[in-house]
Structures are given as C-alpha cells and as structure tokens.
Structure 1
C-alpha cells in the first residue's frame, strides 16, 4: 500500500475541520426545526385600537351662512341749487361729518330779487281778479239785454252777445297770474336750502359769499337712519335664507361683525336678481338700522358701522329638520366617515354633506340614528380593524355653527 503524498496529507489536514463544521451546522438546523411537544405555536390575541366616537341623531338645526360685503348708504344725495344768487347764510353745522335733522336750515341765498318777483306776481294777480270781476258785471248786463230781445239766437251768436269769450279770457288771466305767484313763492322758498332728511354732511362745495347758479352743487348728504350691506355668497346657499318678498315678509336675522370685531343686528332686505360678473356669486342686500348708533341707548354702547366699511355678515338660516351635525374633523377623504360597527370594527361610508361649517358639517343622508362616528385619527386605518371606544363629551346635535361659503373659506384660510 502506497503511503499518502505530501499534497494529499495537506488536503486532509485542511478539509477535516471544514467537514466537522458542516456536520455541526446540519445537526443544529435539525434541532431547530424539530417540533415542540405542544405542536404548532398558538396565534397571538388581536389587540383593539382605542378611538374616540360620537353617537349621532337627526334633529332640527339652524344653520348660519357667513358672507362678506361692503357697507353703503341707503340714501345719499348731492344737493344742488334751484335758484341763482349769492350765499348770504351758512349753518355752523355745514361741516363734513356733522349731523343734521330733517328741515334744518343749511344755507340761504340772497332773496331780494325773489321777494320783488313775488310782489309783482301778486299785483298782477290782483289786477287779473279785478278784470274778471268787471267782466262778470258786463256779462250780467249782456244777459239782461239778451232777455229783452225775446227771441232764440244761434249758439255762436248767443255766446258772443253774452260775452262768454271775454269771461273765459279773464278767468284764464287770473289762473295764469295765480301760477306766476305760486312759482315766485316757490323760488323764494328755494333760496333757503334745508335738509330733506335726517343725515350726515359728507362734503360741501360753497361757503359764505359764494355765487351759485341753477344746478350748482352745494353739499353732499347721506341718510343716517339706514345703511345697506351688499354681500356675495354661492347661489346654492340661498335655500337656507328667508328673503322677504311681496307675498312673505319673513326676513332672516343677521349679525354684522365690524372690522374691530364688534357686532350689530341687521335683517335681510332683498335678493339682487343678478350674479356677480366675475365670480358668479349671488348678491344679497342687508338692512342695518341706525348704523352710526346715533339714536341707540348710550348704555348699550352699540358700535358705529361706517359707509364703505368691509364687514362680515352671519346670516341666521331657517330651521332645517332631520339633519345630523358632526365635527368637521370627522369627515375623511372628501365625503366619507369612519364608523365603529356593531361588531366594534372599522367601517367606511359615504355621506351626503349638505353644507360645511367652520367647525361642523351637516349630513343629509348616509347615517342613521345611534351609529357611532369616529372623530379621532388612526395611523393605519384598515377596514375591519378591531376598535374600542373612548367616551367623549362632544355634542354633535347642536346645529349652532356657521356655514362657510366657498369664497369665505378662501378668505379665512
């Protein structure tokens, strides 16, 4: 038998340890894969996820529509002169911002010429009346003479004999002179410019000694008893608002919020039958009485609302039955909600959102009384996940929230 060569001895020396290691690995794997005495390991128990839920129910809600708009005077006029002459009297109140009462004298134009014109017209009227009186006397004499003739004459001839044309002419002259007197009196009255309504002076164009002509601008005056607010909102939101018409006087109440955050009470007045040209929004006219708080109780400290002020209007909508109010955060992926089913598992459902509020949404269809809506967040929401509810004190039945128009959401964001 031949002895091993040096090379073979070297291979055996290197390969023997590797063979031992390979056998050890095979034995270890066999031991690990050997089943236990109890057989297959039991599955782990399913752990429920904690969530916050609210139980909803349908009831009557009173939505509020939020819109914004510009304040403008209900009545604003530019008072012009109806006569010509020199301004001889100016009221101390003829200052922009001053409050004036209806009938109060604001300024006066020199009236000497108009006094003379009135005196002349009255004199001419007196003369015309005298001429009429004389003519009536002459007509009486003509009638007596006609009776003496004792025969019937044609109508035209009889009219001439009885002086009827002369009588009509005298009567017309009296009427003409009376009209001249009336006009002279009117012009004399127009030399005194008085406030046509309670208001605020906004500007003036004349002063003491100014010469004015017919149609010269004298001053600007706006009514202080009422301002209008024109707000814009999506047309679909008009369905929640009471707008007075000839057949129905019902008008939604409005809270007007000033730029300083103070509030005033107003009412919806009219719907302007024209959409805005750019945004295609509906236009609603709101009436605010005593906007400058001139007649309000001083103790109430009602804030003044200025013309051309940009304000927010919270319009109280009409009551709507059978709606569900939910926190705004309960809406997922557009128009979906997460529900906790009767088996305490996660379910997802589409709902019909009639309108969205700043903090709440109002559901018309998709939910039934007694169902539990999840209001908290879930990291990995998977339909069928086991859930456990956390009791909350959220009352979603209160419909006291404000509907935010699409335009308003842009402004608020």
Structure 2
C-alpha cells in the first residue's frame, strides 16, 4: 500500500515532464496560405492605324446682312401713305413704293419750271431774230468791214441759250424731286427698323427706315491659327475669271428646332484681328429665306450659328479620341501587358478627335478606358483577349462534375 502511494505520484510527475518536453520539441506551426495574386486592371484598347481624314474646321459667328442701308427722304413733306409691308420684318420687292410724301408743292414747282422754260425759249427766239437782223444790217451798211461779235449780238444770243439750259435744268430737278416723293425700294429686301409713319413731316435726309437685302447674308468666322494650314482660303485659290473658289460651309442653329443652311467661303479679311490675333473669314448663304422642308423658320439677322468648314483631305494620319488624352499632353498604351505613358504633340484637334504629330506610332495599342492615378508600368490585361484565351483553354478540358454526375447516376 505504501509502495503504491509512492509510485503513483512519481508516474504522474514523469508523464508531465515527458509531455512538457514533447510540446517544447514540437511547437505548433501556423498554416498560412500564399500571397493573393494581384488583380490586373482590365482595359479596352485600339490599334493605331493610318487613316484618311477630311478635316472639318469648326467655327461660329453671327448672321449679318450682306447689303444693309439706311433709307432716307430726299425731299421734304408730309408722309401721306405707307405700304402695308413697310413695317419691322416686312418683305418688299425692288422698285416697290414703300412710302408716299405729299407731292403738291413739288407739282407746283414743276409747273413753275415749265413756265420758266417756255419764257427762256421765247427770249431765245427773240434774240436769234435780233442777231439775224444785226447781221443783215451790217451786210448792208458795213462797207465790207469785219463786224465785231457785239455788233452781231453773239454774246446776247449765247446768254439767251444759257437761260434756256438753266430753265430746262430747273425743270428736270423739279421733276426729279416730284419722283422722289415716292420712296422706292432700291432692292428686294426686308425692313429691319422703321422710324416714321403716316402724318409725320420729314425733311430732306431724314432717316425713314433701316433695310437690308434678302438675297444673301454673311457670317464672319474666326479661324484658329493651327487650322489655317488645313484650309483652302479664297484668297489663295482662284478659278476662271479670277472668281474666288470658296470651300463649302455647313451652318447649324438650334434656335428653333434643328436648322441647317449650306453656304460657301467668299473671302478672307485683309488683316489679322488685333484683339484676338486670329484671321477671320467671311462665309455667305445665298437665298437664306427660301422655304425648305428642313428650315421652316427663316434665318434671323443677329442669329448665332455654328459652322463646319470643309478643309483639306489628309492621308496617312494618326487620329485618336480626345477622351484618351490626359491633361492635353499624354496618353497610355499597352506594351507586353503593362501600361506605358507616352507624351504626345497634337497637330490638330476638334471637339471629339485629335490628329497626333508625334509621340505615337502605328500599330501601338492605345488605351481607351478612362484611368485614374495609374503609374506607368502597371500590369494590365486587354479586354477580350483574356476571355478568348480562357475559352481556348476550356475547350481541351472535361468538366469536373461529369464524373460525379455519372457515378451518381450509376449509384441511383
């Protein structure tokens, strides 16, 4: 019994020491997995190829009349009538009477001038008779001597002729003033503003209205300095008869729905605009008020329009979307699965696309996907290529569940 009491504690102590030593000799190890694979950025790319591109130069301007005039009264008097179309916005034809000034005073002037002409003609006839009589008397009493002009009454005869001419001129002037009591349209046009109405008394040179011709309108367009080399300016290219050949221009306005007009460049201005340091060209629209299916509302003077000017045809150009350009100076391409930043120089640019002068080469893969703060050298995968590779690898493998499905079916 005593021996049993001694051996039991001893066995427990020995077992404890052995277990402690075993634990020390075999510490637990953490089961750690490998580092997770870094997820690649998936980007969409476009292969850069040589393109043929017809440049469309964008500009803008305000519609102005090609011919604009201030209609003035050339005689004095009271306005007794005006035409129905002699109002703001009214259309009129060439030669149409727009306003009538009271002509009674001028009719009286014409009659007075006619009377003066008759009187002068009578005086001339009398003087011609006196001159003929003086010549006859000298032939009879002059003893063969040379008579002076005064004796023959030649100065008096010339004075009588001058009075006839003066009276006739006064008659023509009074008749002209009578005609001017009718204010006649000098061309087919439209009234921009009207300053007078029936019953108003006007004097000579009073401004009656401001009018403009409706056959053509013009738009002054600023051109960027980089766009000049891509355009055929009218001052540089001339056709038969030295007539400038203007490039086609398409005008657009959304003032009332969708409005479009076709025009042409007609000239360039003679100097660079000192304020903007740009050259301005002038485009012209013929017959802008002609009713068409697309333009139900006529063009307005002062209307703002956008213009697309047909430029030159370029071959072998490298063109990229503006959305791929960062800070206007660099883009990203993909080479061997990584991003590379490329600094570029833009030759020409519109609102959507840019022609690249240097920095890129044909055949490179341009990144189309918008990127944030991404460093050059970041590993990427091209959208579409990895999917194709996965599909090719998947074709040579058997689905893993087929065997299980088959065995399950046999068991059932």
Q: If the length of structure 1 is used for normalisation, what is the TM-score?
A: 0.72
User: 1-side partners of 2:262 and 2:195: how far apart?
Assistant: 35
Q: Which residue of 2 aligns with 1:275?
A: 273
Aligned mates of 2:320, 2:197 — CA distance in 1: 64
Aligned to 1:70: 62
1:363 aligns with 2:360: no
Partner of 1:8: none
CA spacing shift, 1:208–1:48, aligned 2, 3 Å: closer
1:248-259 correspondence to structure 2 within 5 Å: 248=238, 249-258=244-253, 259=255
Task: Give runs of aligned pairs for residues 6-405 of structure 1, distance below 5 A.
Answer: 28=27, 50-140=42-132, 145=138, 149-151=143-145, 158-245=148-235, 248=238, 249-258=244-253, 259-260=255-256, 261-272=258-269, 273-275=271-273, 277=275, 280-291=277-288, 293=289, 295-297=290-292, 299=293, 301-341=295-335, 346-377=339-370, 380-383=374-377, 385=379, 388=382, 390=384
Aligned length: 356
Unaligned runs of 5+ in 1: 1-12, 33-41, 392-413
Q: Is the 8 A contact 1:146 1:162 kept in 2?
A: no
| Conservation of the 8 A alpha-carbon contact between 1:322 and 1:364 | no
Partner of 2:390: none
Q: 1:275 to 1:247 in 2, by over 3 A?
A: same
Structure 1 residues 377 and 24, CA gap change in structure 2 (3 angstroms): farther
Q: Distance in 1 between matches of 2:115 and 2:25?
A: 144
Q: For 1:244, what is the secondary structure of its paired residue?
A: coil
Residue 85 to residue 373, structure 1, CA distance change in 2 (3 Å): same
Higher RCO (Cα < 8 Å, 6 or more apart): 1
| Conserved 8 A contact 2:50-2:317 | yes
Q: Secondary structure at the match of 2:246?
A: coil
Q: 1:190, CA displacement in angstroms?
A: 0.8
Task: Provide closer, same or farther for how the CA distance between residues 220 and 334 of structure 1 changes in structure 2, counting only shifts above 3 A.
Answer: closer
Corresponding residue for 1:36? none
| Superposition CA RMSD, Å | 3.8
- 1:252 and 1:318 in contact (8 A); partners too: no
Please say if residues 259 and 295 of structure 2, whose CA atoms lie closer than 8 Å, have aligned partners that are also in contact. no
- Secondary structure of the residue that 1:332 maps to in structure 2? coil
* Structure 1 residue 326: Cα displacement: 1.2
Query: Is the Cα contact below 8 Å between 2:259 and 2:294 reproduced in 1?
Result: no
Aligned-partner SS, 1:113: helix
Q: Residues 26 and 180 (structure 1 numbering): CA distance in 2 closer, same or farther, change over 3 Å?
A: farther
Contact 1:232–1:281, Cα closer than 8 Å, also in 2: yes
Structure of higher CA gyration radius: 2
* Counterpart secondary structure, 1:72: strand
Q: Using a 3 Å threshold, how does the CA distance of structure 1 residues 93 and 354 change in structure 2: closer, same or farther?
A: same
Structure 2 runs not aligned, ≥5 long: 1-12, 239-243, 386-412
